[in-house]
Amino acid sequence: MAVQFGGYQNEIYLQGLGDKLPPFTTDPTRLEGLARETFDPGPFGYVVGGAGSGATVAANREAFDRWRIVPRMLTDATTRDLGATVLGQSMPAPVLLAPVGVQSIVHPDGELATARAAAALGITMVLSTASSHTIEEVAEANGDGPRWYQLYWPNDNDVTISILHRAKAAGFSALVVTLDTWTLAWRPNDLDQAYLPFIRGIGNAVPFSDPAFRALLAKSPEEDPTAAILQWIPMFTGTDKRWDQLPFLREHWDGPIVLKGIQHVDDARRASDAGMDGIVVSNHGGRQVDGAVAALDMLPEIAAAVGDRLDVLFDSGIRTGADVVKALALGAKAVLLGRPYVYGLGLGGEDGVRHVVRSVLADLDLTLGLSGNRTLADLSPDTLRRT
Ligand SMILES: Cc1cc2nc3c(=O)[nH]c(=O)nc-3n(C[C@H](O)[C@H](O)[C@H](O)COP(=O)(O)O)c2cc1C
Ligand SMILES: O=C(O)C(=O)c1ccccc1
């Protein structure tokens, strides 16, 4: 049975009869403003921020704005099925939670809250290598929920193997390898406040918990946390990685592998030629290359080139149900939600994440139906008009 995500609408109206309001806004585009009022300036600047002038953060949104949905009438779309199959896994909706590091900077429960919210909805979470809680703790909080692991590919092979082992043993089913963040971009929001969470020892549990990494240190992370972090940072970003090293991951990861941060069609082809199972077309939410093309603008060409050979996922700029419709119509099988759920986490912990995700999914369900589409298979470039 398809989950009727649009039911959140009725639930909210009916709760209103008992004078109960939703925890905060149901409009994900207003979350940034709410977060600005409530988060500490360091964490807020970090989450909202982008590379350089912010041109690519803005471009990601402008790209969505150039596409409009063309609704169809009198179709059989009264009840929808948002079900999707990604990497052979069936999902109740084509939305995953993007890997976001150091979530404890916005809420003490961090990734544990995100894991619980995702599990409650049956939505797949992607856990960052830069998680504030250990791989094992997040897996426990996620319970029977579906989960993937995002790798920042360490330069040290023993550390990589250790992390992959732990993720597999903890029930993470797919590996998402992020390629676009082998160093951090020039990020004026963070630089102006001299704020970088993990260098302050906030938020990243992996360096402190991983036995293979600990074995490399002269002093334990408990004795000298700064030295541990300073050794971790250059190692875990994968500066020495090249295309010909992908077989190493195949050797040490028994499951599907997805490359995240693909923006050029030739890189998408290389991923496919390397036997990857999927890609995430993404510019990291505009946080890495200022002036980079909007991720959505590259999606149609990439989907046309490799969409029949691997699963094309998308992120960077998804805010509303309509945005999900647009990305799917342009060739994505599923999308990753980024900043909106992080704002939800900061505003309301587990319930806040749940509220944001339910809002996006309800909006998606209703927008899909009202535009005349019953399933995701009904979406195509023909659903949209470029304006
Ligand atoms: C605060 C923050 C931390 C992030 N940390 C990671 C990370 O650890 N690993 C990763 O692959 N992507 C990371 N990302 C990128 C997201 O996975 C995703 O690509 C991006 O948020 C999508 O853009 P959007 O938030 O504008 O939708 C981070 C993004 C933000 C906002
Ligand atoms: O800030 C980011 O975008 C990001 O990807 C990251 C990198 C290292 C640690 C935490 C998050």
Residue 103 burial class via C-beta count within 10 angstroms: exposed 0-12, middle 13-18, buried 19 and up: buried
* Nearest ligand 1 atom to alpha carbon 340: 25
* Nearest ligand 1 atom to alpha carbon 101: 8
Nearest to 256 by CA among 205, 316, 311, 321: 311
- DSSP H helical ranges for the chain: 7-17, 31-38, 41-48, 55-65, 110-121, 135-142, 157-169, 188-192, 206-209, 211-214, 225-236, 246-252, 265-273, 295-306, 321-329, 339-370
Longest dimension (CA), the chain: 70
Per-residue pLDDT, 51? 98
Tokens in use for 17? 């009869």
Per-residue pLDDT, 201? 66
- Does ligand 2 come within 6 angstroms of the Cβ of 182? no
Which amino acid is it at 364? L
**Catalytic residue IDs:** 284
Per-residue pLDDT, 12? 98
Angle at 310 between CA 51 and CA 89, to 5 degrees: 95
Per-residue pLDDT, 48? 98
0.90 cut: is pTM over it?
A: yes
CA distance 371 to 322: 10
Determine the distance separating the centroid of ligand 1 and the alpha carbon of 342, expressed in angstroms. 10
Provide block-wise average pLDDT over 10 residues at a time, the chain (387 residues).
94 97 98 98 98 98 98 97 98 98 97 98 98 97 98 97 98 98 97 90 84 94 91 89 98 98 99 98 99 98 98 99 99 99 98 98 98 98 97
Domains and CATH numbers, the chain: 7-73+84-379 (3.20.20.70)
CA distance 314 to 95: 10
Question: Would you mind telling me the total number of residues written for the chain in this entry?
Answer: 387
Write the residue with the smallest CA distance to atom 10 of ligand 2: 101
